A and B are shown apart, each in its own frame.
Chain A
Amino acid sequence: MGFDIQAELPKLLWLGIGVAAFLAVIGLLLVIVDRGPRCRRDWWQAACFLTPAGVLLVVGLLYPVVRTTVLSVRDRGGTAWVGLDNYAWMLTQPEILLVLRNTLLWVLFAPLLATAIGLAYAVLVDRSRYEAVAKSMLFMPMAISFVGASIIWKFVYTYRPAGTDQIGLLNQVVVWLGGEPRQWLLDQPLNTLLLIVVLIWIQAGFAMVVQSAAIKAVPDDIIEAARIDGVNAWQQFWRVTLPMIWPTVAVVLITISVQTLKVFDIVRTMTGGQFHTSVIANEMYNQAFRYGELGRGSALAVVLFVLVIPLVLVQIANTRRTREAR
């Protein structure tokens, strides 16, 4: 075995020391809390409890928001003011327009399909004998990384020339059905749609679990009343179940939309953004960390930020409302 425990041991030792040191500091903090002044005790305690989080939030999030916004109106090195040039660049470059179009495709398809599949599945396995197993199966991809899921699907899409044995499942199915194998990830916009399939595969389980909980919370007497009124199953779904769980459906749709806007790992792992599959988050990474274009990278990040804000605000209001209703 080449697993060299000797080489890795020091690192793990440092991990232990680091975590122990951190916990010691926090322990010290908790001791100090009780040694504070008698008057204004709550102030003193709050200051002790909030300082670690406060420092991390100010340096890690508040400052970067301001800084990124400032950089987005500066040049590539982040020194000279260029006004809205970086934003104008975005809207005039054909490649970037394509990136924006791809992001739009993602946001149009992924949330809707994942939510719909999750909902249909939740309704159909509800209270069946194999419900728990069926749900775990759909939910499992949520646990693995986007990189892992992308690798799984890259194998499915693999191509071998016609006449040789296919090793990718999709092309094999096509060949079995009498078709020609294709290089699925080369032609746009089909390739973007095939990448979207991966996100749907990951997120449908989330949609299913959350919506299933809502379906179970619909009161029995409402269902019973509808049945006595003679509505059929189809009407029951559209007129009773769906309106009752609509707030939850909205939460799921928006949550997946936010995730979709920021999608990066799938594109990076499967195509690297080549073959016209790039999206905003991937382009932002390329501009800032590969080409050293800090201004353009920042502008792309700001666009992402602006697109996400309304969604998250609606979401927070929504969550609060459903919590109060409970």
Chain B
Amino acid sequence: MRRADALAAIYPQLEHAVVVTIMGAVAAELQAIGHRPNFFYLQHAMGLASSMGLGIALARPEKQVIVFDGDGSILMNLGGFTTLARYRPRNLVHVVFDNESLLSVGGFPTATSTGSDLAGIAAAAGVPRTATVRTLDEFTHAFADALRAGDLTTIVAKVEAVGPSAFVTDLALLENRFEFQKWLRQR
């Protein structure tokens, strides 16, 4: 499965959700499909996208929050799984695209390439719903199930280590940040 295809497959379901992504390929690919004011791209601070998602989910429990994370990023904040599980925001779906590498800095393999199981770590931390998916069909079903279930879910989507040719986009960081804040506070 390619991450860009996975994002495209669920793109219609992101229309009314609050979306937070990590930097690099995920941000560039989602913007290439189509930026929306309800999408925020955390273009640094690796590991904190899930923490931002938690902050938003706790502040706005009536909004559906979706975080697009990556293996390299979440490996920097594994303790965050325990915090997510502890507060169990039922409005948060946490998707981890696991390409088993740090793609944007040369493709060096991460620990998931040697067997570290992020869904297993999430489950052991106490995240109530977890899944590892390997095909587009499995992914779209797991994502739809998570939205229906209305509970904290971590979906680890195993994806190919391929991405866009460039990571810098036309959207300025602060433009994104203030537009997102405006959207979030008006709704």
**Same assembly:** no
